[in-house]
């Protein structure tokens, strides 16, 4: 009991669920984190291959087991017709409309891509894109209604 007495005991309440706006913001922030890592590896000339755990069924025995698989991450940027790099922010498969009629950010060079992605991530975490995220989330929810 002496080791237990050396610990600091407190009364704590587990936090309830996060607000839906915060959950959507966190989802987009996590996606931006992966895009930043992908852009950094692209700039360094290395391959970015995050892994995730998947459950697969063994064909011989029929039992399910967990294996590590490479997660496919698709780049959000592309080279436009004018030769400049453009970035489209996505929520799931939906491209966010960042301003009225504008859905992409012109980056310019590949070297500026990481800085632009980090700026977008700060904007998302500050809540500046909440209206656009809500619109994209509503569009995704509409597809699931019968």
pLDDT tens for 3-61 read: 788 888 888 888 788 888 999 999 999 999 999 999 999 988 899 889 899 999 988 88
130 belongs to a structural domain: yes
- Of 48, 49, 43, the C-alpha closest to 114 is 43
When pLDDT is cut at 50, 70 and 90, the band that residue 125 belongs to is very high
How far is residue 116's CA from residue 65's CA, in Å, rounded to a whole number? 40
What would the pLDDT profile of 3-18 be if each residue is shown by its tens digit? Answer: 788 888 888 888 788 8
Q: Please, what sign has the CA dihedral across residues 114, 115, 118, 120?
A: negative
What is the residue range of 90's domain?
19-45+74-143
DSSP code for 110: G
Does residue 50 form part of some domain? no
d(CA 143, CA 95): 15
Whether residue 35 lies inside any domain: the answer is: yes
Residue 51 lies in a domain: no
Whether 103 is in a domain gets the answer yes
Q: How many domains does the chain have?
A: 1
pLDDT at 2 over 80: no
Find all residues with CB under 8 Å of 66, minimum gap 6, and list them.
Answer: 53, 54, 55, 56
């Amino acid at each position: 009991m002496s080791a237990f007495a050396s610990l600091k005991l407190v009364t704590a309440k587990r936090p309830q669920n996060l607000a839906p706006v915060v959950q959507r913001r966190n989802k987009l922030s996590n996606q931006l984190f992966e895009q930043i890592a992908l852009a950094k590896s692209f700039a360094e000339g290395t391959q970015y291959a995050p892994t995730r755990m998947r459950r697969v069924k063994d064909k011989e025995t029929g039992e399910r087991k967990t294996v590590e698989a490479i997660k496919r991450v698709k780049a959000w940027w592309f080279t436009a017709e004018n030769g400049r790099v453009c970035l489209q922010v996505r929520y799931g498969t939906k491209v966010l409309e960042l301003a009225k009629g504008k859905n992409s950010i012109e980056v310019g060079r590949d070297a500026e891509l990481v800085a632009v992605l980090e700026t977008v991530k700060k904007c998302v975490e500050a809540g500046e894109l909440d209206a656009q995220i809500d619109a994209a989330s509503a569009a995704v929810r509409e597809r699931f209604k019968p």
